[in-house]
Structure 1
Amino acid sequence: MLRSVASGYHVLVRLQRTYATPAIPSALRQLEKDGARVLRAVQTRIETRNELLAKMSDNVTSQEEIAQARQIKELEPLYDAWISWTKARESLLETFPLLSDPDETMRALASDEYASLYDSLSRHLSATFPSLLVPPSPTRSLSALLELKAGVGGSEAALFLTDLLRVYVRYATSRGWQSSIVQSSEVTGGGLRDAIVEIKGEGAYDTLRWESGVHRVQRVPATEASGRVHTSTVTTIVLPLSDEVEPSGDDNLFKMEDVKIEVMRARGAGGQVVNKTESAVRLTHIPTGITVSMQDERSQHQNKRRAFQVLRARLMDIKITQDIAERRETRRSLVRSADRSEKIRTYNYAQDRVTDHRIGLSLMNLQSVMEGGGIQEFLEALRKNWEQEIMEEAIADAK
């Protein structure tokens, strides 16, 4: 291990000495000037890795050492890329004088080698390092629980909620994830007032979390005789879903004594009782005031299990949001899209346009979003935007 630390240290020393060498090609000098912030962030991470490695003992036993070992392991890909960068840079500097060699064959070989090495260094700065500066997401393995609620617009909002639900279910299927509607309530005339859908699959939460917020639709309702465009909204909340669904006394998100459990008879439209047994369940988490009601399943046990699943997802969402806020303090929040009142996207049927207001991206093919795979383009752009913000943080920390 110490040998590895020493090797990393000497690489840094050699690089620093090389920077002082006047024979640096102007193209390389400009490349490093443009990527100076990224290089500084990488150097800071490598120094952190080496310091942690120097502190490690042969027998990792304490929780602190286990956490340090995990951090070192996460930094290994960046360390490998850094070594690759420094070797390519050294090779390029060795090749540079050969571009002026008297032998024409040697000059040609050197030119090809120089171009290849320069391209490798450029890729490191533009793609490899930025991608590795983004730490692994702590929620990357979690499934998702989507809650959709109709907002302004009456029956048109309920119809649009049904359309959005179909978009998410279709997208989940295309990704190989399993989806099931946990709860829903219809309105007179068609459409859904609200719905909760479970999407099970690794990476579902990290992929769909950007969908949290207010979705606005502008279109002419089928019942509108004058052809006037109506504006309606649906609020989507994406929650992290863990595999654990049964309540337990040692849950790390809540204590059972903090949860008030009530059972009652399930009710239908208008409030009438629809069964003779007390199968409906309502949970109240006293410290936060969160209330979850569940009555769609046939038995009290199933409704209770589902209710605890939703409660756990909502509490986990709060915990993740608080952790990010504490870690970032006054910096711009990554979870700003989780602001439930923020208008995040507009679906304009008259203009055949869908616009995401957070990143200013518009697609002039509404049908591809609602009926095809167009939603993927928004999700991918939002993911890249998030990774860019994380990388900017890493660069800022290295100043």
Structure 2
Amino acid sequence: MFDKLEDLLIRFEEILSELHEPTVTANQERFRKLMKEQSDLTPIVDAYTEYKKCRQEIEDSLELLEGESDEDMREMIKETLGESRKRVEELEQELKILLLPKDPNDDKNVIVEIRAGAGGDEAALFAAEIYRMYVHYAEGQRWKVETLNVDEIGIGGMKEVQFTITGQGAYSRMKYESGVHRVQRVPETESGGR
């Protein structure tokens, strides 16, 4: 795994040096390809750089711990050592996930369709709530939402709505969002339960 990470680090440096060459901007297709590759490699390179830094902190802390006789300083060094070891474990897991092969569709955009099923106004209100939830989530991810079609009812519900979500990683996050959702409201007359 670490050999592959070193190779990716070298490739990242090559991309950066190539992007600084003035001839690259003349070829827009090549420039776009390099920018995409740089964007894909940045999270891996950042995590690996932090991993190497934490490993160095562990080594430095162990050296200091051997030569230190003051008990307060030893406690501080042990605390730093513990934090660095914990962070190294977290980064190892993160790097394993980042190195998994990507779905080629992950950077594509998404069209979402929500329809109210059986249930009349209650189903339409629930469909509107789901729509607002997805829009809020997309805005939090800095994705662009464009409503294509909406069929609203008078009380704030939606019989159906179609919208697109555009942005980096939209498909990768939204590809499992499908299926039928059911909501059932308990009428106030049933508050005692059965």
Q: TM-score, normalised by structure 2?
A: 0.58
C-alpha distance in 1 between matches for 2:41 and 2:138:
34
Bigger radius of gyration, 1 or 2? 1
Report the CA distance between 1:147 and its aligned residue: 0.8
Q: Structure 1 or 2: larger strand share?
A: 1
Cα separation, partners in 2 of 1:180 and 1:154, compared to 1, 3 Å:
same
**Residue 215 of structure 1, aligned match among 181, 186, 191:** 181
2:86 is the counterpart of 1:113 = no
Report the CA distance between 1:186 and its aligned residue: 5.6
Cα separation, partners in 2 of 1:47 and 1:177, compared to 1, 3 Å:
closer
Q: TM-score, normalised by structure 1?
A: 0.33
C-alpha distance in 2 between matches for 1:73 and 1:172:
22
SS state of the match for residue 145, structure 2?
strand
Aligned residues: 169
C-alpha distance in 1 between matches for 2:83 and 2:150:
54
**Residue 95 of structure 2, aligned match among 132, 145, 170:** 132
SS state of the match for residue 84, structure 2?
helix
**Native 8 Å contact 1:92 1:118 kept in 2:** no
SS state of the match for residue 217, structure 1?
coil
Alpha-carbon deviations, 1:164-187, whole Å to 9, x = none? Answer: 223333554566654332123467
**Native 8 Å contact 2:47 2:94 kept in 1:** no
Match of 1:197 in 2: 163
**Native 8 Å contact 2:143 2:165 kept in 1:** yes
**Residue 56 of structure 2, aligned match among 82, 87, 91:** 87
Alpha-carbon deviations, 1:225-279, whole Å to 9, x = none? Answer: x8469xxxxxxxxxxxxxxxxxxxxxxxxxxxxxxxxxxxxxxxxxxxxxxxxxx
**One-letter identity of the residue aligned with 2:62:** L
Cα separation, partners in 2 of 1:73 and 1:165, compared to 1, 3 Å:
closer
C-alpha distance in 1 between matches for 2:169 and 2:111:
12
C-alpha distance in 1 between matches for 2:80 and 2:179:
46
**Native 8 Å contact 2:115 2:159 kept in 1:** yes
Match of 2:24 in 1: none
Match of 2:124 in 1: 158
C-alpha distance in 1 between matches for 2:93 and 2:80:
20
Cα separation, partners in 2 of 1:213 and 1:125, compared to 1, 3 Å:
same
**Native 8 Å contact 1:148 1:195 kept in 2:** yes
Name stretches of at least 5 consecutive residues in structure 2 with no aligned partner: 19-33
Report the CA distance between 1:195 and its aligned residue: 1.7
State percent identity of aligned pairs. 27
Match of 1:335 in 2: none
Match of 2:113 in 1: 147
C-alpha distance in 2 between matches for 1:161 and 1:199:
17
**Native 8 Å contact 1:88 1:121 kept in 2:** no
C-alpha distance in 2 between matches for 1:175 and 1:78:
21
**One-letter identity of the residue aligned with 1:90:** E
Alpha-carbon deviations, 1:282-330, whole Å to 9, x = none? Answer: xxxxxxxxxxxxxxxxxxxxxxxxxxxxxxxxxxxxxxxxxxxxxxxxx
Calculate the aligned-residue CA RMSD, in Å: 4.6
Report the CA distance between 1:210 and its aligned residue: 5.1
Alpha-carbon deviations, 1:376-396, whole Å to 9, x = none? Answer: xxxxxxxxxxxxxxxxxxxxx
C-alpha distance in 2 between matches for 1:185 and 1:72:
42
C-alpha distance in 2 between matches for 1:98 and 1:121:
20
2:81 is the counterpart of 1:77 = no
Cα separation, partners in 2 of 1:122 and 1:197, compared to 1, 3 Å:
same
Match of 2:87 in 1: 123
SS state of the match for residue 216, structure 1?
coil
Cα separation, partners in 2 of 1:139 and 1:120, compared to 1, 3 Å:
farther
Report the CA distance between 1:146 and its aligned residue: 1.4
**Native 8 Å contact 1:98 1:107 kept in 2:** no
